[in-house]
């Protein structure tokens, strides 16, 4: 299909998506970005946030906790630490992720990074309304 990129989302548990997308909105560690056909080759780390893949069939949204994205002119491959379709996220899921982030912030090797991770996780919780 013209004007699309092959989007693949994989977590350690399973492959969550393999679709032709017109755009992929990525919560990058250095800022949000949108990948589309013809994008410059890029590799970026992810921060906790909502990743969206837009296709002619609609938008699929996923809560991700981190990982990497490799973008080329024709594909976007995301290797997520954890990923859950937003439609499947429960309050219990988000409470567990936030509790884990709080525990990381209590005894961090890098206090600033741990505080940022916790803030990003709380923003993710608010974004998915769980």
Number of independent structural domains in the chain: 2
Rounded to two decimals, the pTM is: 0.87
- pLDDT exceeding 70 applies to what percent of the chain? 97
* 123 HSE (CA, 13 A, CB side): 13
Q: Are residues 62 and 79 in the same domain?
A: yes
pLDDT band at 8 (very low <50, low <70, confident <90, very high): very high
Q: Are residues 52 and 105 in the same domain?
A: no
Range of 38's domain?
5-86
- pLDDT tens for each residue of 48-59: 999 999 999 999
Q: Give the domain CATH number at 26.
A: 2.60.15.10
Measure the CA–CA gap between 71 and 6, rounded to whole angstroms: 10
Q: Are residues 55 and 18 in the same domain?
A: yes
Which of these ranges, 10-14, 50-54, 65-69, 109-113, has the smallest mean pLDDT? 109-113
């Amino acid at each position: 299909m013209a004007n699309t990129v092959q989007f693949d989302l994989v977590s350690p548990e399973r492959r969550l998506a393999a679709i032709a997308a017109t755009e992929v909105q990525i919560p990058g560690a250095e800022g949000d970005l949108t990948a589309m056909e013809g994008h410059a080759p890029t590799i970026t780390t992810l921060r906790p946030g909502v990743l969206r893949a837009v296709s002619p069939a609609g938008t699929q949204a996923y809560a991700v906790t981190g990982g990497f994205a490799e973008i080329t002119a024709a594909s976007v491959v995301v290797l997520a630490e954890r990923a859950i379709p937003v439609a499947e996220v429960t309050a219990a899921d988000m409470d567990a992720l936030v509790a884990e982030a709080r525990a990381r912030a209590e005894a961090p090797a890098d206090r600033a990074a741990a505080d940022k991770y916790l803030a990003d996780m709380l923003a993710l919780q608010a974004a998915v309304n769980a």
